[in-house]
């Protein structure tokens, strides 16, 4: 379905009922709002595994503006500020109160934008495989450690000056390092890929290179779960440490995944979902 939010129609899908029978009353489950990665991807990577959490939460998927099935709007609105405002606007449109917002990779940037702009709104926040500030030299070095100098060269070529051709080469050569376990080849084929959105945002010369949430993360008032894979080429360990250090110390929980790369929900699925399930259920 489509929901009108801040001047565009966002594609939204819901996995299960939020209000369920419980004896002689009706119980309202919390809402888990999933913010997909990219940019230039859609929500489909979350399916079908995140439906496993439907017993403890109503799972809501959507595509960011300019991504997937959602409308583009004015491209001047393809910013983290607008994408963060869209999270709040979507919740307002659907009547979602105190959502548990999970942002994966780029979705984690959007989650930080939303939560720092509206610190009283989220009930809980999950930041998975993401950063408060991107360390581009660290990314190139990490790809070199994992795949050798040619892989590092291709990563540096794309991230420093993104083009459609360099992005295609990056997908062929570097994206396989996002997982340590073999990926289902059908999973990527299902994704609606928008290269123009990625080229608009990615790289040190675009907003990705300018973003830095570290000075404002102290505003957060909700519990925050940070999840990171040890072998993630996009989020080297120092980047996760900087994110955690910027968060309010009494509100943050960190879970590292020693056998995971960027897609920790693929590499260590059972433990990753167990951690999220526990975080949702915790008081």
Quote the pLDDT of residue 263.
97
Average pLDDT, the chain: 96
Q: For residue 187, what are the domain limits?
A: 2-133+181-281
Mean pLDDT across 206-211: 97
Domain assignment of residue 221, yes or no:
yes
Q: What pLDDT, in 10s, does the model give residues 53-87? A: 999 999 999 999 999 999 999 999 999 999 999 99
Does 283 have pLDDT greater than 90? Answer: no
Q: What is the dihedral of CA 180, 181, 182, 183, to 10 degrees?
A: -90
Domain assignment of residue 152, yes or no:
no
Contact 132, 115 (CB under 8 A): no
183 band by pLDDT with thresholds 50, 70 and 90: confident
Q: What pLDDT, in 10s, does the model give residues 5-56? A: 999 999 999 999 888 898 999 999 999 999 999 999 999 999 999 999 999 9
Contact 42, 63 (CB under 8 A): yes
Least confident of 106-110, 184-188, 252-256, 272-276: 184-188
Domain assignment of residue 106, yes or no:
yes
State how many domains the chain has.
1
Quote the pLDDT of residue 48.
93
Domain assignment of residue 172, yes or no:
no
Q: How many CB atoms lie within 10 A of CB 2?
A: 13
Contact 70, 8 (CB under 8 A): yes
275 band by pLDDT with thresholds 50, 70 and 90: very high
Quote the pLDDT of residue 90.
98
User: pTM surpassing 0.85?
Assistant: yes
The CA-based diameter of the chain, rounded to the nearest angstrom, is 64
Domain CATH number, residue 237:
3.40.50.1820
Does 165 have pLDDT greater than 90? Answer: yes
Quote the pLDDT of residue 186.
87
Domain assignment of residue 38, yes or no:
yes
Does 184 have pLDDT greater than 90? Answer: no
Domain assignment of residue 53, yes or no:
yes
Report the DSSP pairing between strands 58-62 and 8-14.
Answer: antiparallel
User: Rounded CA gap, 21 and 135, in Å?
Assistant: 48
Domain assignment of residue 176, yes or no:
no
Domain assignment of residue 165, yes or no:
no
Mean pLDDT across 125-154: 97
CA distances from 223 to 124, 132, 219, 255, 272 (A): 5, 17, 12, 14, 17
Q: Edge-to-edge strand order for the sheet containing 31-35?
A: 2-5, 8-14, 58-62, 31-35, 100-104, 124-128, 224-229, 252-257
């Amino acid at each position: 379905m489509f929901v009108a939010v801040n001047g565009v129609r966002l594609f939204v899908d819901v996995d299960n009922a939020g209000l369920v029978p419980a004896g002689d009353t009706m119980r309202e489950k919390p809402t888990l709002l999933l913010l997909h990665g990219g940019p230039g991807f859609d929500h489909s990577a979350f399916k079908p595994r995140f439906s496993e959490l439907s017993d403890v939460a109503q799972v809501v998927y959507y595509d960011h503006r300019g991504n997937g099935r959602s409308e583009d709007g004015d491209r001047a609105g393809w910013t983290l500020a607008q994408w963060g405002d869209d999270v709040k606007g979507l919740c307002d449109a659907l009547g979602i109160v105190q959502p548990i917002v999970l942002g994966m990779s780029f979705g984690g940037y959007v989650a930080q934008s939303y939560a720092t702009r509206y610190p009283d709104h989220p009930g809980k926040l999950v930041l998975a495989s993401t950063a408060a500030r991107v360390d581009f030299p660290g990314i190139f070095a990490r790809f070199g450690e994992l795949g050798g100098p040619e892989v590092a060269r291709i990563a540096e070529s794309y991230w420093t000056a993104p083009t459609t051709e360099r992005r295609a080469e990056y997908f062929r050569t570097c994206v396989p390092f996002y997982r340590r376990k073999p990926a289902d080849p059908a999973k990527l084929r299902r994704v609606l890929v928008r290269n123009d959105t990625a080229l608009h945002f990615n790289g040190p010369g675009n907003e990705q290179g300018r973003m830095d949430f570290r000075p404002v993360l102290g505003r957060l008032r909700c519990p925050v779960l940070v999840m990171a894979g040890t072998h993630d080429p996009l989020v080297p360990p120092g980047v996760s440490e900087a994110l955690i250090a910027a968060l309010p110390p009494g509100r943050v929980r960190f879970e590292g995944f020693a056998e995971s790369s960027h897609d920790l929900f693929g590499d260590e699925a059972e433990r990753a979902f167990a951690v999220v399930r526990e975080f949702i259920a915790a008081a």
